[in-house]
Structure 1
């Protein structure tokens, strides 16, 4: 019922948004003398603020058309190389010179936690000069017909394994936040099977591997409510006329409400500043605000079964760190991982995944050699800064690139070969 009311409210507000858009155009038209006055700019700013606050934001584009390789600018094109009902795998194809090695293959597993994969556009952009980058583009559950079937945490893990098979051997995987648990589980399953397509390295960033460590408000909320509360209060059916009508989902607008509520004062202040930037005709600052919130406010629905299973497994039962996580009836054992490099990255001020939650992965993988593991804490960044922004580009991304190069399977084989030769001599 709440989802239907949300849709109805959105439809009823459409005429008001149209009027607001017209007011904005009228008072921002340079041929209108009022557009050059404080009154005109304030009227246009108020109309734009209303329209942006009441609209539904569609899926943004990555918008990556070029990158720099070997100090030269090259074109970038997006290609879907693998597809399933709930996910497409996008390859960012660079127009490299003939014979130029593309670098390591990197699979970036984007979060399936309410935002689109485009939230990691900055992550992709930072890695493109150094690697062949692929990213999981998860599908909004409201857009998947009910006839396509279910999608839960087990399916998520299967998707990751299938994608690694599709990309072939010597692939590196990076998981940002939520997917770190299923990626670690997938790596453990592949290692236990001696799968030749197991990743060369794993990079886990801002990950809720063990939420018992330094719990945040997000973790405490989950534990205080219990799985039955979530099932009764946040699971809804997609209303008509969306393609996924009748599918049970965790709506994106609820997730967004939670995100906004955690730092409501900061978001209110940001919108006040946006209004003042418009009145003062500070176009650069206003455009930065638009770019950020066009991405931040674009949300997607999650299937109910995936959401509930994730909450129960990761935040309530802590199944992975307790050694109790199951996949298709079999126990997930991270100790089976021996030949996969492990890099964990945390932000000093992360209020989503507290310090130590990501580092816990090292305790679960005791059989990875010490020279194939590393942990890094980035000072003065929050959750978003772990995978995006200036500090990510200048301090975190170079470490990830170096770790992939130093711990790729080819380099490890050659290192073992040199060690054997030295021992023989």
Structure 2
């Protein structure tokens, strides 16, 4: 039904776009009346809202460091069925620049949602990022992908990058990233992360539960399995795979702040009527990214609901990987930084900070907590507050522990 609706809206959006262009054509008299710009703006807003979206590009072509501007190189350095490892660097980085693995959330959006995160950290770091695949585009022959596989991917990525790597987990991946650090720490793996920064992550959702947490707790796991899991249609490579569709995740996020989203589109309409194309383009760019969604495998989604939001397996010390309980005491030298926003309506205050208390064998001087005032969930990793207030804290934390990382490499 969703695919049918998407196809129908796609045609309507195309006609609306054509209508908007005709109404704004200088050769047509209607464009010079008061009604023309209003009709054209309404059609353009509808066309933008109804258009289908695929996977966006990072499009980070240059980075400015001081007064110099450098070209950015983007490359796939490791390919896996359910996600690639991308590397970003530029010639302005020093030879011993910190290596940073950004772990993007597998929560319905593509890794490009962290474009601003990558661009800012690229000023001082050689940046890698997990580029997760859309589950409906992965052939069924590739097998399953669950929470254990997610952790294995992170360990493999850290091994590929090498010793001394710093890791940044944004939101949902804070849990598997924390688990990977504990597993590697317990084994004294030379490639264990030098630092792990968790931003807005649901380490312990019993702390200041949000509406997202409440939804996960109100229904048994079987309800999620029977009501939000679907089979990929025949038109996709992953036909038959059980997934949690990205459009359901987007619907949930939009419903949480429906009034704000409606006002944003009304604002875009007014900007278009007034001829303020720059302001309208900024709103369009945000929603182009926000509405680009992908599917998650049912195994990963259901295990995340069960262990992160319902059973609280990690903070209870009951989290298991490949049949073995994860010893959080294994984190003995990976420096931990927890970042939260006081306006975050997805991960409440204290949920990420809990990671610092769980690392009982880690010295206090290797733990840090930062609460960003007047910052919501999205603002933790994107926008001016991220660039000017949060990123410097992260850079200073990495710089502070970079000497230790270099010793491990040596």
Asked whether 1:82 is paired with 2:82, we answer: no
Q: Which structure 1 residue ranges, 5 or more long, are not aligned?
A: 415-425
For residues 266-287 of structure 1, what are the alpha-carbon distances to aligned partners after superposition, in whole Å with 9 as ceiling and x for unaligned?
Answer: 1111111111111111111101
Asked whether 1:250 is paired with 2:244, we answer: yes
Asked if structure 1 preserves the Cα contact closer than 8 Å seen for 2:199 and 2:352, the reply is yes
Structural mapping, 1:221-260, within 5 Å? 221-260=215-254
The Cα shift of 1:410 comes to 3.0
Q: Segments of 4+ in structure 1 off by > 6 A?
A: none
Q: Which structure 2 residue ranges, 5 or more long, are not aligned?
A: none
Q: Which residue of 145, 166, 172 corresponds with 2:166? A: 172
How far apart, in 2, do the equivalents of 1:197 and 1:330 lie?
A: 20
Asked if structure 1 preserves the Cα contact closer than 8 Å seen for 2:89 and 2:122, the reply is no
How far apart, in 2, do the equivalents of 1:251 and 1:411 lie?
A: 40
Q: Which residue of 10, 16, 23 corresponds with 1:20? A: 16
Asked if structure 2 preserves the Cα contact closer than 8 Å seen for 1:105 and 1:132, the reply is yes
Structural mapping, 1:359-374, within 5 Å? 359-374=353-368
Asked whether 1:72 is paired with 2:72, we answer: no
How far apart, in 2, do the equivalents of 1:67 and 1:41 lie?
A: 38
How far apart, in 1, do the equivalents of 2:87 and 2:15 lie?
A: 41
How far apart, in 1, do the equivalents of 2:176 and 2:44 lie?
A: 41
How far apart, in 2, do the equivalents of 1:12 and 1:175 lie?
A: 38
How far apart, in 2, do the equivalents of 1:258 and 1:405 lie?
A: 38
The Cα shift of 1:399 comes to 0.8
* Secondary structure of residue in 1 paired with 2:95: coil
The Cα shift of 1:318 comes to 0.2
Tell me what 2:177 maps to: 183
How far apart, in 1, do the equivalents of 2:110 and 2:75 lie?
A: 17
Tell me what 1:422 maps to: none
Tell me what 2:266 maps to: 272
Tell me what 1:358 maps to: 352
Asked whether 1:381 is paired with 2:375, we answer: yes
Tell me what 2:47 maps to: 51
Asked whether 1:393 is paired with 2:401, we answer: no
Using the size of structure 2 for normalisation, the TM-score is: 0.97
Tell me what 1:423 maps to: none
* Secondary structure of residue in 2 paired with 1:306: helix
What is the number of equivalent residue pairs in this alignment? 408
The Cα shift of 1:151 comes to 0.3
Q: Which residue of 144, 150, 157 corresponds with 2:138? A: 144
The Cα shift of 1:165 comes to 0.1
For residues 221-246 of structure 1, what are the alpha-carbon distances to aligned partners after superposition, in whole Å with 9 as ceiling and x for unaligned?
Answer: 10001211100000000112111111
How far apart, in 2, do the equivalents of 1:163 and 1:392 lie?
A: 25
Asked whether 1:104 is paired with 2:103, we answer: no
How far apart, in 1, do the equivalents of 2:348 and 2:78 lie?
A: 34
Asked if structure 1 preserves the Cα contact closer than 8 Å seen for 2:165 and 2:405, the reply is no
Asked whether 1:341 is paired with 2:311, we answer: no
* Secondary structure of residue in 2 paired with 1:61: coil
Q: Which residue of 23, 34, 41 corresponds with 1:38? A: 34
How far apart, in 2, do the equivalents of 1:85 and 1:230 lie?
A: 26
Asked if structure 1 preserves the Cα contact closer than 8 Å seen for 2:81 and 2:142, the reply is yes
Asked whether 1:311 is paired with 2:311, we answer: no
The Cα shift of 1:55 comes to 1.9
For residues 370-416 of structure 1, what are the alpha-carbon distances to aligned partners after superposition, in whole Å with 9 as ceiling and x for unaligned?
Answer: 111100000001101111111111111011011011113536859xx
The Cα shift of 1:31 comes to 3.3
How far apart, in 2, do the equivalents of 1:19 and 1:391 lie?
A: 39
How far apart, in 1, do the equivalents of 2:55 and 2:203 lie?
A: 28
Tell me what 1:63 maps to: 59
Tell me what 1:407 maps to: 401
With 233-242 and 87-96 compared, the bigger mean Cα shift is at 87-96
Tell me what 2:117 maps to: 123
Using the size of structure 1 for normalisation, the TM-score is: 0.94
